[in-house]
Structure 1
Amino acid sequence: MPPLVRIRSERDHMSAIERRIADYILDNAHLLRDYSSQQLASALGISQSSVVKFSQKLGFKGYPDLKYSVGQAVARGGGPQPASNGPAPAPGDGYQQLQDALRRSKAAAEDETRLLNPRAHIEQIVARLDRAQKVFVCGLGDDGLFAREFAMRLSLLGMLTVHHADAILMMTNISAARPGDLMIVFSEFGKLPQLSQLSRTFQDAGGAVVSITRHTANPLRAHADAALVVSAHDPAPHIEQLLYRSSLQYLLDFLFVLLCQTNPDRERQLAVNLERVQRLLDS
């Protein structure tokens, strides 16, 4: 796992001092090569041994090993980059540079999202989905767009799906929740109190909650029975938002494909439903 992804993935379980070191490295990764462990410690107002222990806790031999690994990741653009079969952009060709930079950023964000959601964890959530008698899907605002599309896909697989983009309507439908049911809650930052209340009420009814949020510490993720996380980091806010959408879509697409592959009956039902929809459109 790339070092910056590893730091992000373990940040929520770190001590206060370790989080300060992690945040500084994440925010200043391109400058780390110029810092010794003592200089980094001085910049943060902590002991040099804290920096060394932080490095070792992440699995590195020491701070120099961590610094070298981060430097290599930064030199590669933060992660693997897709190969380009076309000619290199001409100097000053801003259009081509923007296009290539966005493609690389999306690829890196999707790769980080994949690494932050390990196979065993994904397969456990897919199994929960496949076993659920009913699946409740909820998201507000922009998150509601992804929730609606995912709920539709689940319905095409023959799964009984309850979807609302209104917290009040969803709360009334939770009265039909039973043990074994599953709720998927979309919330980019995981801080909306309405969604946390919905989740707790659903859990009180015996259902399990899966949250889908950014890879940050947030109330919704903390209280969910299982969590999927999305990686999206960029200094420019408008680019970061695009990366979040791209990575979230990748994650949802993969869940859908796994559901089809795991249960052949789901795939057969998808074919039947798609044919029915097509007949309806043609009539």
Structure 2
Amino acid sequence: MSCIFKIKEGFNSFTNTEKKLANYILKNKEEVVNLSAQELSDKADISPAAVVRFSKTLGYKGFTALKVDLAKDRDERENDTSVIISADDSIKDIIRKVKVSNTSSIDETIGLLNVDTINSIIEAMVNAKRIYLFGIGASGIVAMDLQQKLLRINKNSLYQMDPHTQISSSVHITNEDVAIGISYSGETKEVNTPLKIARENGAKTIAITRYNKNSLSKIADYTVYLPNDEKELRVGAITSRIDALTIVDILYLGVAKNDFERTKSDIKKTRDIINSIK
């Protein structure tokens, strides 16, 4: 996972001290990889302990691990990633913007993945008696997509379109189940509430949300992060939807490969029954 990208994505949620250190690292990357925690603290005018805490905030065991990741970081993000259209855009302009934005955003999504976390989530999904999915609006479309995929390989899953029905279904979740909440903001009450109930009932809980300190990520046992690409004023949940669909594809394929021969058989059965009514 890119160190520079993690710093940029999490910047708004940092404390003032963390922002001070983050700014110094972003401006002096080449220098920082050769500094000790004490030397960096002197230059950034903070305490050595704050350097170590910041490293752990980013998910590293310590400052040395951060430096290793920083040294191999290339941060090659393309600048023109906006899909906010203007009145004089041609169709060619729109096509270019969508292509650049989606490609860049998927790359960033993959860059934020923690392989150990993904493995743990897939293992929990494989072993789950039932997988409950929570999401509304564009996130609901992502949840429906995952449910449709899981049903094709005979994995018991549940998604209700009505938010109140989603919340009602959560009271029946047990410690044999998995609950997945999808919300870009991480502050959607209709998603956070059932996921919290699921955790209280002993289920493994998973959040798919933007890279930030938000309420949903605090509830979940495991969090998969989406890039902070969406603007405050947007024409639709475009990149966040693509990013979330990328994540659920990875999770689905991870579950599907667990018993590959059975998966192939299940997919053939569902394909054959659909073909029979055409």
Please give the secondary structure, in 2, of the residue aligned with 1:140.
coil
Matched, 1:266 2:267: no
What is the aligned partner in structure 2 of residue 189 from structure 1?
A: 185
Task: Give the counterpart letter for 1:273 in structure 2.
Answer: T
Give the C-alpha shift of residue 236 in structure 1. 8.2
Which residue, 109, 122, 125 being the options, matches 1:129?
125
What's the Cα RMSD here?
Answer: 3.9
What is the aligned partner in structure 2 of residue 218 from structure 1?
A: 214
Q: How does 1:78-89 map to 2 (within 5 A)?
A: none
What is the aligned partner in structure 2 of residue 88 from structure 1?
A: none
Q: Distance in 2 between matches of 1:201 and 1:236?
A: 30
What is the aligned partner in structure 1 of residue 78 from structure 2?
A: 77
**C-alpha contact (below 8 Å) 1:106/1:246 kept by paired residues:** yes
What is the aligned partner in structure 2 of residue 176 from structure 1?
A: 172
What is the aligned partner in structure 1 of residue 113 from structure 2?
A: 117
CA displacement, residues 135-183 of structure 1 (integer Å, 9 cap, x when unaligned): 1111112211111121111111101111112232123323432222011
What is the aligned partner in structure 1 of residue 4 from structure 2?
A: 4
Give the C-alpha shift of residue 213 in structure 1. 0.9
Task: Give the counterpart letter for 1:129 in structure 2.
Answer: M
Give the alignment's TM-score, normalised by structure 1. 0.71
Q: Distance in 2 between matches of 1:94 and 1:241?
A: 21
Give the C-alpha shift of residue 96 in structure 1. 5.1
Q: Distance in 2 between matches of 1:12 and 1:221?
A: 16
Give the alignment's TM-score, normalised by structure 2. 0.72
Please give the secondary structure, in 1, of the residue aligned with 2:159.
strand
Higher helix share: 1
Please give the secondary structure, in 1, of the residue aligned with 2:238.
helix
Return 5+ residue gaps in structure 1 as ranges: 38-46, 80-92
Distance 1:132 1:15, change over 3 A: same
What is the aligned partner in structure 1 of residue 202 from structure 2?
A: 206
Q: Distance in 1 between matches of 2:13 and 2:271?
A: 44
Give the C-alpha shift of residue 8 in structure 1. 4.3
Identity among equivalent pairs (%): 16
The count of aligned residue pairs is 246
**C-alpha contact (below 8 Å) 1:126/1:258 kept by paired residues:** yes
**C-alpha contact (below 8 Å) 1:232/1:241 kept by paired residues:** no
205-214 vs 97-106, greater mean Cα deviation: 97-106
Give the C-alpha shift of residue 6 in structure 1. 3.2
Q: How does 1:15-94 map to 2 (within 5 A)?
A: 15-19=15-19, 22=22, 48-50=44-46, 57=63, 59-60=66-67, 73=75, 77=78
267-276 vs 212-221, greater mean Cα deviation: 267-276
Distance 1:209 1:105, change over 3 A: same
Which residue, 154, 157, 160 being the options, matches 2:156?
160
Give the C-alpha shift of residue 21 in structure 1. 5.2
Which residue, 239, 246, 249 being the options, matches 2:242?
246
CA displacement, residues 61-94 of structure 1 (integer Å, 9 cap, x when unaligned): 9xxxx8x999x636x6269xxxxxxxxxxxxx97
Distance 1:20 1:219, change over 3 A: farther
Higher RCO (C-alpha 8 Å, min separation 6): 2
